[in-house]
Every structure is written in C-alpha cells, then in structure tokens.
Amino acid sequence: MNGDALGSDPGELGAVVRFIMVVAAMLTAPVVVSARDYDCGDFSTQAEAQRVYEDAGPGDPYRLDRDHDGVACETLP
C-alpha cells in the first residue's frame, strides 16, 4: 500500500489541503467578525464607547448602557 492508490502525489494532496484551509478561513472569518462583542473594558474613554454604542444602535446590542440612560460606559474617564 502506498500513495499510488490515491492517484495523486503528496504535493498535489498538500495543495488540496491548503485550498480547503483557505476556503474554511474565508467561510469562518465573517462569522467571527459579526460575533464581535464589545464591552466597556474594550475602550479607554467614555467617548469612544459612546461612539460605538451610537453606531451600533438603535438599541444596545453590546450592552454598553446597562442602565439605559443613553450614556454608554459612564464609569470610563
């Protein structure tokens, strides 16, 4: 038993594996991006958090405004 049974040489198989990995990366990357979640610890200033909060609206998908007063992460400087 050797590689002849597959009808391809190891180099070709490697190319197929690389192709599958590239396709898998392309398929999974957008999911990772859309699953991106922010929390107040991701920002260094309140203004920065406020901008992301307003861009993400309406609503508060990242839950940056836990007390729903329209001001995100008021604990930040």
Which one of the spans 22-30, 32-40, 46-54, 57-65 is the region binding Ca ion (CB under 5 A)?
A: 57-65
Under the binding rule (CB under 5 A), the answer on residue 75 touching Ca ion is: no
Of the candidates 33, 31, 35, 51, the residue with the CA atom closest to the CA atom of residue 43: 51
| Window of 1-9, 24-32, 36-44, 67-75 that interacts with Ca ion by CB under 5 A | 67-75
Selected binder of Ca ion within 17, 20, 29, 71 (CB under 5 A): 71
Nearest to 49 by CA among 33, 71, 30, 32: 71
